[in-house]
């Protein structure tokens, strides 16, 4: 009898505990549902993604973008949306442009190439020395054979596709050649993406000579619109939600130039002899592709080093973030 009473008590206690657990779970579930409802209301009240107003008039290199065309408007809308809402990338574009556009702009101007082509370099590489899966390299994304054709040195020790000034000069040569051929900077830009031969074939097939009238592979069909969109955002950042201070931008680097016309056995030693280390030497001269330079022909190269008298990445190194004129040394 006592045994049965104990069993009954245990069962009763178990049922009570189970009931309490069920009540707690039910209560928690209600609270979670209330929390979810509150969270959704908060999200709905505070999160917004806006459609963008499209400009009525746009141009690329002083050539009109036909904004009256439905196809043109929709393609531009796509690129504006992508670059507006890919905030991290576009903010990095603004930061890097502050450092590198002052180098690119005077070279374009000297060669008579419209200033808008600096945005071509930006969409090609993000103003970084990247290498594409196909092997296109540097800010201007030259393939090896094209780089050599337009005067750049490309080998295992020196690759001037990584040399911003020289690769910009080479890009100017290409663009001027394409402009002479097509009579249009817009078509010159399109050819930069798909090549003049490829563009010629499409012009012949489609019997048109205007970029905006052509049916092209997606990359080239988007290409000029990407340039125009990023130009629009970069020139009117606040209209597209980008707010930053001058100090948030990457500053230009002040350097001095050393002429070098002899072999270098070890660039680490060379760097230390000039008051920097190997890392900074390669950051400022990414076109030097190895740890040495044989230079059998005694060609003269111009090495960039940090301007003297300024501290930089670490206390023992020198680098300057100002926009003064270059100092020139000669070995």
What is the rounded distance in angstroms from the CA atom of residue 78 to the CA atom of residue 85? 11
Q: Per-residue pLDDT tens for 213-248?
A: 999 999 999 999 999 999 999 999 999 999 999 999
CATH for the stretch 58-248: 1.10.530.10
How many Cβ atoms are within 10 Å of 198's Cβ, its own excluded? 15
Q: Per-residue pLDDT tens for 131-163?
A: 999 999 999 999 999 999 999 999 999 999 999
Residues 6+ apart with CB under 8 A from 85: 49
Mean pLDDT of residues grouped by 10 in the chain (331 residues)?
Answer: 64 68 63 71 83 96 98 98 97 98 98 98 98 97 97 97 98 98 98 97 98 97 98 97 96 93 97 93 97 96 84 49 38 33
Per domain, the residue ranges of the chain are 58-248, 255-330
Give the three-class secondary structure for 313. Answer: coil
Output the pLDDT for position 307. 86
Q: Is the Cβ–Cβ distance between 43 and 195 less than 8 Å?
A: no
Output the pLDDT for position 319. 47
Tell me the pTM: 0.84
Q: Per-residue pLDDT tens for 272-290?
A: 999 899 999 999 999 999 9
What is the rounded distance in angstroms from the CA atom of residue 276 to the CA atom of residue 264? 16
Output the pLDDT for position 6. 65
């Amino acid at each position: 009898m006592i045994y049965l009473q104990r069993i009954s008590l245990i069962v009763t206690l178990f049922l009570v505990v189970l009931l309490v657990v069920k009540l707690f779970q039910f209560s928690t579930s209600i609270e979670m549902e209330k929390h979810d409802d509150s969270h959704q209301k908060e999200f709905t009240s505070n999160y917004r993604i806006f459609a963008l107003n499209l400009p009525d008039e746009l141009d690329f290199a002083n050539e009109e973008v036909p904004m009256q065309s439905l196809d043109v408007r929709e393609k531009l809308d796509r690129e504006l949306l992508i670059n507006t809402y890919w905030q991290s990338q576009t903010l990095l574009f603004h930061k890097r442009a502050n450092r590198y556009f002052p180098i690119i702009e005077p070279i374009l101007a000297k060669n008579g190439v419209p200033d808008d082509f600096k945005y071509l370099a930006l969409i090609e590489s993000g103003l970084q020395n990247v290498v594409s899966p196909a092997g296109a390299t540097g800010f201007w994304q030259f393939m090896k054979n094209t780089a050599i054709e337009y005067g750049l040195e490309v080998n295992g020790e020196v690759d001037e596709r990584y040399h911003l000034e020289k690769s910009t000069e080479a890009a100017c040569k290409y663009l001027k050649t394409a402009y002479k051929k097509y009579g249009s900077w817009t078509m010159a830009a399109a050819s930069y993406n798909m090549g003049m031969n490829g563009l010629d074939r499409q012009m012949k097939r489609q019997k048109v000579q205007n970029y905006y009238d052509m049916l092209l592979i997606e990359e080239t069909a988007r290409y000029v619109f990407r340039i125009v969109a990023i130009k629009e955002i970069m020139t009117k950042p606040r209209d597209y939600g980008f707010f930053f201070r001058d100090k948030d931008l990457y500053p230009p680097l002040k350097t001095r130039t050393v002429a070098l016309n002899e072999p270098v056995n070890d660039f680490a030693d060379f760097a230390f002899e000039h008051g920097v280390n190997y890392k900074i030497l390669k950051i400022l001269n990414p076109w030097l592709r190895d740890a040495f330079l044989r230079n059998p022909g005694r060609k003269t190269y111009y090495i960039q080093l940090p301007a003297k008298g300024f501290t930089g990445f670490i206390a023992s190194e020198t680098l300057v973030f100002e926009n003064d004129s270059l100092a020139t040394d000669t070995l």
